[in-house]
Amino acid sequence: MANLTPLPAAKLLGPTEIRELAARLGIQPAKRLGQNFVVDGGTVSRITAMAALQPDDVVLEVGPGFGSLTLPLLAAARRVIAVEVDRALAAELPITVAARAPQLAGRLDVVTADAARLGQLPGEPPTVLVANLPYNVSVPVVLHLMATVPSLGRGLVMVQSEVADRMSAPPGSRTYGVPSAKLAWYATARRAGSVGRAVFWPVPRVDSGLVSLVRHSPAEAAAVRGTAVREETFAVIDAAFSQRRKTLRSALSAWAGSPAAAEAVLRAAGVDPSLRGEALAVTDFARIAAASRGGGDPDTINTS
C-alpha cells in the first residue's frame, strides 16, 4: 500500500521551474501537439484531490509534460503510468521526479507513445485515468482508452471547456452530440469544475473544464447496450449527427440504404422516425443498431 504523504508545495513545479526545464531541454511548446503546460501548483493539487485516489490505485496519466501533475499523483497513488508522446519530455520526466521526490521515483513508469494509439501497458493494469489532454485529440484519446483499457474504472480529465460540455451533455441539450453519446456507451460523464487559462504556459485562448468519468458496471453496460455491438452503434451515432437538424428518417437514410429502410429500422427499434438524433440516448442508438441486423424484439431489450 502506498504511503500517502502529500508533497510539500516547494517540491511542486511552478512557472519558474518549468521554464527553466524547457530552456535547458530546448523545448518550445508545440501547437501541433496541443502542448499547454500547467504551471500552477494549486491547480495540480486540486486535480489530484478531486481524483479521489485510493492507496492501491494505479494511475494512467496522459500528457504529463514536465511532470507538474505527475508529482502529486505519485504521492497519492501506488503507481503512475505516464504516457508522453514527446520523446524529450518522456526522457526527462524520471529525472525530474528523482530530483524533486526521490522517495517516489520507484512508483513511476514512463511510456513514450501516442495515447490515441496506445497498446500494451507495463505492469499492473491502471485503475484511474487522470489527464491534461491536448484540445485537438481529447475525445479520441478518451474513447480509445475506455475501449482498450477495461481496467480503468474511473477518471478525471482536463479538456477545453467547450469539449467538457460536449462530453458530459445529456440527450436533448444544445451541446449533446457524438462525443456525449459515444462516451455514454462506456461511462457516466459529468462536468466536475472549471480551470482558468492563466494557469497554463503558454496561455491558451480558451478556458478548460474538468470531466469526471465513472465506467458502467457490467449490469449497467448490459442495460445500455442490449444486444448491440459498439462498432454498429457508433456508426448509427455518426450518421444521426452528420445532419443533426434533419429527422432520423432522413439522417439515417444513407446508413440504412434509403429513407424507407431507415424508417423501417427505426420503427422496429421502437424509435419515432420524426425525432432528431439529439433526442436519443445511447440506449436508443444501441436498439437501432441491433434492429438493423435483426437483433431481436426491441421490447425484450432493457432500455432502463
In sequence order, the 6+-apart residues with CB closer than 8 A to the CB of 195 are 43, 158, 207, 208, 209, 210
Cα–Cα distance, 165 to 177 (Å, whole number): 10
Q: Quick one: 189 exposed, middle or buried, by C-beta within 10 A (0-12, 13-18, 19+)?
A: buried
CA distance 65 to 139: 19
Residue 168 has pLDDT above 50, yes or no: yes
CB under 8 Å to 59, separation ≥6 — which residues?
51, 53, 73, 77, 79, 80, 81, 126, 127, 128, 129, 130
Q: Is the pLDDT of residue 228 over 60?
A: yes
Q: Is the pLDDT of residue 29 over 80?
A: no
- pLDDT 10s digits, 249-302: 999 999 999 999 999 999 999 999 999 999 999 999 999 999 998 754 433 333
Strand partners, 218: none
Per-residue pLDDT tens over the stretch 46-91: 999 999 999 999 999 999 999 999 999 999 999 999 999 999 999 9
| pLDDT for the residue numbered 10 | 65
pTM, 2 dp: 0.90
Answer whether the bond into residue 202 is a cis peptide, omega within 30°: yes
Three-state DSSP class for residue 43: helix
- Three-class SS of residue 132? strand
| All domains of the chain in start order, with CATH | 9-215 (3.40.50.150), 223-300 (1.10.8.100)
